[in-house]
Amino acid sequence: MSTEALESMVGGEYKYGFTTNVEYEEFPRGINEDIIREISRRKDEPEWVTEFRLEAYEKWKQMEEPNWHNVHYESPDFENIQYYSATKKNNGKRPESLDDVDPEIIATYEKLGIPLQEQKQLQGIAVDAIFDSESIFTTFKEKLKEEGVIFCSISEAIHDYPEIVKKYLGTVVPKGDNFYAALNSAVFSDGSFCYVPKDTVCPMELASYFRINNEQSGQFERTLIICEENSKVSYLEGCTAPKFSSTQMHAAVVELVALENAEIKYSTIQNWYSGDEKGQGGVFNFVTKRGHCRGDNSKISWTQVETGSAITWKYPSVILQGDNSVGEFFSVAVTSNRQQADTGTKMIHIGKNTTSTIISKGISAGESNNSYRGQVKISSRAENAKNYSVCDSMLIGQTCGAHTFPYIESANPTAKVEHEASTSRVGEDQIFYLQQRGMSEDDAVSLIVNGFAKDVLKELPMEFAVEADKLLGIKLEGSVG
Amino acid sequence: MLKIKDLHAVVEEDGSEILKGVNLTINKGEVHAIMGPNGSGKSTLSKVVAGHPAYEVTAGDILFEGESILELDPEERAHKGIFLAFQYPVEVPGVTNKTLLRQAYNTIAKAQGKEELDPIEFEDYVAERMEVVEMRPEFLERSVNAGFSGGEKKRNEIFQMAVLNPKLSFLDETDSGLDIDALKVVAEGINQISGKENSIVMVTHYQRILDYIVPDHVHVMVDGRIVKSGEKDLALKLEEQGYDWLAEIPSAAVNGQK
Amino acid sequence: MTTLKKKEQTFLIDLLDFQDSLNGNSEFVDNVRMKGADEVRNTPFPHSKDEEWRFISLRDLYSDSYQHVSVLEEKDPDLRDYFLPECANSRLVFINGVFSIKHSSVEALPDDIVIDSLARLAASDNPLVKEHLNKYTTFEGDVFSSFSDAFLQDGAFIYVPKGRKIDTPIHLLFVQTEADITYFTTSHSVIVADEGSEITVVEDHIGLGDNKYFNLPVVEVSAGKEAYVKHTKIQRDSQEAIHIARTSAFVEKHANYESYTITIGAKLSRNEPRISQRDEEVKFTVDGLVLIDGEQVSDTHSVMDHRFPHCESHQLHKCVIIDKAHSVFNGKIFVRPHAQKIDSFQENRNLLLSRKGLVNTKPQLEIFADDVVCTHGATIGQLDEEEVFYLKSRGLNEKQAKELLIYAFALETIENITVDSVQKLLVDEVHNFTERQLHSEFTI
């Protein structure tokens, strides 16, 4: 098969590009102290949150946009972004029941495959539906509460559980951690909050479905998950956005805290609109995700399938502080057309006998660039720490690029670090072999890519694995030239 | 079943002609052996029949069940029941044998208007076929050919053939790289699969596999043409005398036409 | 930060003032110097905020002011211990940056090869100098290269004509003597192997004392069409020295460039081998061995630039770190668009044997062609306990077992060096090093 044919197979039709017709509240563009106070006022926040925002804003003003990454884009005009977006009907008030939610929005989620109505709700998954950084509705909230698990929007948590939020917010990703985290800390609108009490295994999967709809606004959600001693949770997140010719800014912060013997599994399927084949439009995805294994024997595991966004800039990380704690990062990043992804992880080993595993699979096609950037740091106290990393790249065609930037540091002679990386491609011989066994070119490519990404895909929870499989298929199928 | 008429084929990349007028007829249920020195074009012939994109047919035709298949994609030929056991089976990391086989089996079944098998039915079916080539069950969970020894890869090809049950199979140097025990297992498998309905073409360099699988016809290919056809004893003669004596024979006269 | 800046400037200005007083005895050399000096004035010196320098501190370099090596009195040390028997009559010696006729001899080499001091060739306006100097370098915008140009004085110049295959290895011995002052010295060597020729060069840097100096050697290599160049570099500068080297090689069609860099000396060393593929179908090797202890810092930043289809490249970089030593590796593999059929291998293995040691490694791939096989790997760790146990079960004591394993670890990178005496010398160095390792207080 010709390379052109292979290339034309990537960049399959984006199926989530529709727009929902809703009316938004008026809100001025730009960022300054007044804007931040106004966000805080509309969300009826306590003073300490307003202060948190203002301090972050002060830090942000002093900071510069990072430039060390391997992505190139026109810097967003931060004065032209609308930092708060709420639909008129909700008027900033949280819905008591689904009746309070705009039926258009309910229909949108249904279209995305996430029905919110009680009788249709996905079984075994509690969903927090976030529409333009505003939590619209959370399913199974009451049922979870029976087990002591709190799952709600972060705005709600600030009102109802201020002591927990105050104790943990900004402790994993400090206000001034980096440019985008600082911006988020200043203007965050909504996001999910999850608290699993001591000795509790969360009885169902928790999921947040993020939807960007407003062309003018940025999305700045903030997620906080706390797992107390001996507890366990699995959390999923999915993201989609309409096709706009302009770009949208998404700068999220996710903080995870795992106390002794706790385990958090965080899975993402990121499928924001990635722009067209000329690179017009798409979401700028600047995300700071970090987990803190605070307690001994705790475990945090990140799994991500990154297929969307014009720009992806995210490094879900784990600080391995507790002794024997475990950090994992499993990633598949697919880029096509003009997409640029710079993604990876940081594993910071502080505690004794800490172990981390990194498996990253990057697939580049079209004119895209796909970079793995990772850091493994073994501090001098991390006795017998172990890290194992594999970063493989697959190139489809001759106009894309694959980059690997692993930073490895060890200051402890009892630690063991192993990193390996390789590149491969979808071989013509492989395609012919599979065709000879009866498969079409599309199916052959899809099968080869799925095989390449298998070590990561198998880490996804069942409910997501099917979706991820389909997503890779859609991304890589299409008209064979 | 298969009729190859004056087939000429070139390497697409540089235009060099490898097949220079091949004629060959294979009937239902027959076992053929194509022998010949290195570079004679015998492997190319099997690839061209399977539709390998690296070769271009410049003249002649290939008829399968009476219809030309030249315009068909490789998978369409597979759907019709043509199977190629590769000389160098390709590795597909991360894709298990089971996944490949089920997808291949069902795609072909669908194209042929047969019933597809659900995972449980397929499991039973495969278990039965595995015995043919003495495969262990854990083999199904391994990635296609990845990390296999040369012998394992060859056995895997025959196993796939046993599962897909093709009408016509080209076995390209399936015997090379096998020790004598593995050769026996593979040959035994091939014998079990072949029958009244299936035809087999063995492309081979050595005659030793023919001790286990007795061909109905033996052809000798030299420089892109079939220069001599005969029965089993021809293979023995080649073993003893090599290929040089064939160069004396004018090719047009013994062109494999029966 | 401001203090550091000031220091950089002192370092720079003092020297540039001095530079004006140098006389190259050649208009060509003077022009190179002036251009170099201009570039230095317009290029900031690096510091650890720069990505390329982030793992090390250059404080040791900037904290002193240096005098040019030419202010030292002429020295005539006894160098016999450092001579290689294979190179008795194929040797160029430079003492404190200046060519020493007395210790040099090229009698064993055929007449048609040009081998001499760069300064002498330049002074006699030899056209080869103009033709080849600074033609095989990929250090544009690099302040240290400009700095070296600004002080261009001497170095080895070798030109091997078409088809000439030289079996006798050539020893380039750069000697730094003891001194009361902190000095800096440069050398610029050019090795040109024309079409179909073969040559083996041993570049050898030796510090006779334990004084501080700043050594800045530049080496350019051109492996012409079908040429075969074997280049071994041994860095055994003084334990207080700063060694910042620039090495670049252009590899032409069907050529093979093999380089082995052994780092033993210097308090702070930075090697930057940059291999540039200039045509199709080439091979190159950039292996390295680093043995460091005390407070030594060794930094290797390599570039393997695959610019055309069909190339086989290999890099095995091994480091043994004891005491408070710090090893840095950043190996870049570039595969440019359309450079298909590249087979590139890179591995960095580190034995971190000390509580106070530190390792940074950053193997890096940047690939723009799909039909390539590029792999890299990095490991940091201890000796394998199983292996130690195995050897002990065969009757070796702990010390012997460890020594043997470190030795085996190091040996892999030097066993391909074809000059016997160099191999032997390195084997001895490895022994000395493991001996030191076992006595280090930080060894676990």
Task: Give A147-206 as a 3 state SS string.
Answer: CCCEEEEHHHHHHHCHHHHHHHCCCCCCCCCCHHHHHHHHHCCCCEEEEECCCCECCCEE
Minimum distance, in Å, between the CA of residue C299 and any CA atom of chain A: 13
Cα dihedral sign, C387-C392-C398-C402: negative
Does residue C24 have a pLDDT over 80?
A: no
Mean pLDDT of B32-53: 92
CB contact under 8 A, C360 and A407: yes
| Interface check B107 vs A, CB under 8 A | yes
Per-residue pLDDT tens over the stretch C258-284? 999 999 999 999 999 999 999 999 999
Nearest residue of A to residue C370, measured between CA atoms:
A395
CB contact under 8 A, C370 and A403: no
Q: How far is CA B24 from CA B27, B47, B62, C5, in A?
A: 10, 15, 9, 83
Does residue C11 have a pLDDT over 80?
A: no
Per-residue pLDDT tens over the stretch B54-67? 999 999 999 999 99
Residues within 8 A of B (CB atoms), A 385-444 only:
424, 427-430, 432-441, 443
CB contact under 8 A, A398 and C370: yes
Per-residue pLDDT tens over the stretch C125-176? 999 999 999 999 999 999 999 999 999 999 999 999 999 999 999 999 999 9
Nearest residue of A to residue B90, measured between CA atoms:
A430
Give the number of domains in chain B.
1
Residues within 8 A of C (CB atoms), A 361-380 only:
378, 380
CB neighbours of residue A40 within 10 Å: 20
3-state secondary structure of C431: helix
Contacting residues of C for A400, CB less than 8 Å apart:
368, 370
Contacting residues of A for C361, CB less than 8 Å apart:
408-409, 419
| Interface check A455 vs B, CB under 8 A | yes
Greater confidence (A3 vs B29) lies with B29
User: By the 8 A CB rule, do B133 and B182 touch?
Assistant: no
Domain residue spans of chain C: 66-438
Contacting residues of A for C382, CB less than 8 Å apart:
413-414, 416
Interface test with A, best of B84, B87, B90 (most A CBs within 10 A): B90
Touch B-A: 3+ C-beta pairs under 8 A? yes
CA C327/CA C270 separation, integer angstroms: 10
What is the extent of the structural domain holding B201?
A: 2-255
Minimum distance, in Å, between the CA of residue C286 and any CA atom of chain A: 19
Contacting residues of C for A367, CB less than 8 Å apart:
none
Minimum distance, in Å, between the CA of residue C344 and any CA atom of chain A: 10
Nearest residue of A to residue C345, measured between CA atoms:
A422
CA C187/CA C216 separation, integer angstroms: 7
In chain C, helix, strand, coil percent, each to 5? 25, 40, 35
Contacting residues of B for A1, CB less than 8 Å apart:
53
Mean pLDDT of chain C: 91
Does residue A9 have a pLDDT over 60?
A: no
Nearest to A403 among C358, C365, C381 (CB): C365
Does residue A476 have a pLDDT over 90?
A: no
Least confident of A16-25, C354-363, C410-419: A16-25
CB contact under 8 A, B93 and A451: yes
Query: What pLDDT is stored for residue A366 in this prediction?
Result: 86
Query: What pLDDT is stored for residue A286 in this prediction?
Result: 94
Contacting residues of B for A359, CB less than 8 Å apart:
none
Does residue C443 have a pLDDT over 80?
A: no
Helix axes A47-62, A179-187, angle to 10 degrees: 150
- ipTM for the complex shown: 0.89
Query: What pLDDT is stored for residue C177 in this prediction?
Result: 95
Contacting residues of A for B79, CB less than 8 Å apart:
438
- The percentage of residues in chain C with a pLDDT greater than 70, rounded to a whole number, is 93
Query: What pLDDT is stored for residue B257 in this prediction?
Result: 43
List of E strands, chain B: 2-11, 17-26, 31-35, 55-64, 67-68, 82-85, 92-96, 143-144, 168-172, 199-204, 217-222, 225-230
CB contact under 8 A, C377 and A418: yes
- pTM of the entire structure? 0.89
Per-residue pLDDT tens over the stretch A53-92? 999 999 999 999 988 888 888 888 899 888 888 777 655 5
CB contact under 8 A, B75 and A438: yes
Query: What pLDDT is stored for residue C399 in this prediction?
Result: 82
Q: Cα A378 vs. chain centroid, distance in angstroms? A: 26
Least confident of A3-12, A97-106, A173-182: A3-12
Nearest residue of A to residue B55, measured between CA atoms:
A1
Minimum distance, in Å, between the CA of residue C342 and any CA atom of chain A: 11
Give the residue from A326, A360, A265, A286 showing the smallest Cα distance to A75. Answer: A286
Q: How many CB pairs under 8 A join A and C?
A: 115
Q: How far is CA A420 from CA A457, C160, C345, C374, in A?
A: 19, 40, 11, 11
Minimum distance, in Å, between the CA of residue C321 and any CA atom of chain A: 9
Does residue B13 have a pLDDT over 70?
A: yes
Touch B-C: 3+ C-beta pairs under 8 A? no
Nearest to A421 among C354, C371, C375 (CB): C375
Query: What pLDDT is stored for residue A10 in this prediction?
Result: 46
- Name, of A362-366, A402-406, C57-61, the range with top average pLDDT: A402-406
| Interface check B197 vs A, CB under 8 A | no
Residues within 8 A of C (CB atoms), A 377-406 only:
378, 380, 393, 395-406
Query: What pLDDT is stored for residue A112 in this prediction?
Result: 81
Mean pLDDT of A233-256: 89
Per-residue pLDDT tens over the stretch C402-439? 888 988 898 888 888 999 999 999 989 888 888 877 77
Nearest to C374 among A400, A414, A422 (CB): A422
Does residue A123 have a pLDDT over 80?
A: no
Mean pLDDT of A199-215: 89
Per-residue pLDDT band at A5 (split at 50, 70, 90): very low
Greater confidence (A277 vs C133) lies with C133
Per-residue pLDDT tens over the stretch A168-179? 999 999 999 999
CA A372/CA C211 separation, integer angstroms: 43
Enumerate residues 6+ apart whose C-beta is below 8 A from C7.
C62, C63
Least confident of A340-344, B231-235, C111-115: B231-235
- The percentage of residues in chain B with a pLDDT greater than 90, rounded to a whole number, is 48
3-state secondary structure of B77: helix
Does residue A471 have a pLDDT over 90?
A: no
Reading the block at residue A102, the tokens are 């705009």
Give the residue from C444, C433, C386, C425 showing the smallest Cα distance to C171. Answer: C425
Query: What pLDDT is stored for residue C13 in this prediction?
Result: 57
CB contact under 8 A, B100 and A455: no
Alpha carbon distance, N-terminus to C-terminus of chain B: 14
Least confident of B238-242, C85-89, C139-143, C241-245: B238-242
Does residue A402 have a pLDDT over 80?
A: yes
Mean pLDDT of C311-333: 96
Residues within 8 A of A (CB atoms), B 147-176 only:
160, 164
CB contact under 8 A, A436 and B84: yes
Contacting residues of B for A433, CB less than 8 Å apart:
86, 89-90, 92
3-state secondary structure of A26: coil
Give the residue from A98, A211, A194 showing the smallest Cα distance to A148. Answer: A194
CB contact under 8 A, B83 and A435: no
Enumerate residues 6+ apart whose C-beta is below 8 A from B108.
A438, B78, B79, B81, B164
Mean pLDDT of C101-125: 94
Alpha carbon distance, N-terminus to C-terminus of chain C: 36
Residues in C whose CB is inside 8 Å of some CB of A read 51, 337-338, 340, 350, 352-355, 357-382, 444
CB contact under 8 A, C367 and A416: no
CB contact under 8 A, B103 and A451: no
Mean pLDDT of chain B: 88
Mean pLDDT of C296-302: 97
Q: How many CA atoms lie within 13 A of A227 on its CB side?
A: 33
List of E strands, C124-163: 156-160
Looking at residue B138, which CATH number applies to its domain?
A: 3.40.50.300
CB contact under 8 A, C367 and A395: yes
Contacting residues of A for C350, CB less than 8 Å apart:
410
CB contact under 8 A, A404 and C377: no
CB contact under 8 A, C357 and A420: no
- The percentage of residues in chain A with a pLDDT greater than 70, rounded to a whole number, is 94
Per-residue pLDDT tens over the stretch B108-148? 999 999 999 988 899 999 998 888 778 888 888 899 998 88
Nearest residue of A to residue B54, measured between CA atoms:
A1
Touch C-A: 3+ C-beta pairs under 8 A? yes
